[in-house]
């Protein structure tokens, strides 16, 4: 899912070893990324599953809105 992708991105930044604060990393991600496109693969073909707009953060959680295709 799009939320999982953002979590993976956060983990990669934290594993960098620079001693970054997790809440700061989430804030950086939410301000740098406006849209996440989630692709699904079926029978070797990739199709758009969902498109999510990142609207910011609230209580440490990404605020996301599903954009209709």
Pairwise CA distance, residues 59 & 45, whole Å = 37
Average pLDDT, the chain: 90
Is the pLDDT at 69 greater than 80? The verdict is: no
Q: Using one digit for the tens of pLDDT, what is the confidence trace for 30-67? A: 999 999 999 999 999 999 999 999 999 998 889 999 99
For the full predicted model, state whether its pTM sits above 0.75.
yes
φ and ψ at residue 23, rounded to 5 degrees: -70, -35
Is the pLDDT at 23 greater than 90? The verdict is: no
At 24, is the pLDDT very low, low, confident or very high (cuts 50, 70, 90)?
confident
Predicted local confidence at residue 52, as pLDDT: 94
């Amino acid at each position: 899912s799009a939320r999982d992708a953002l979590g993976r991105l956060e983990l990669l930044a934290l594993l960098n070893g620079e001693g970054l604060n997790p809440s700061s990393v989430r804030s950086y991600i939410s301000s740098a990324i406006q849209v996440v496109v989630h692709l699904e693969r079926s029978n070797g073909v990739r199709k758009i599953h969902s498109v999510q707009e990142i609207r910011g953060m609230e209580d440490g959680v990404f605020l996301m809105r599903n954009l209709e295709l």
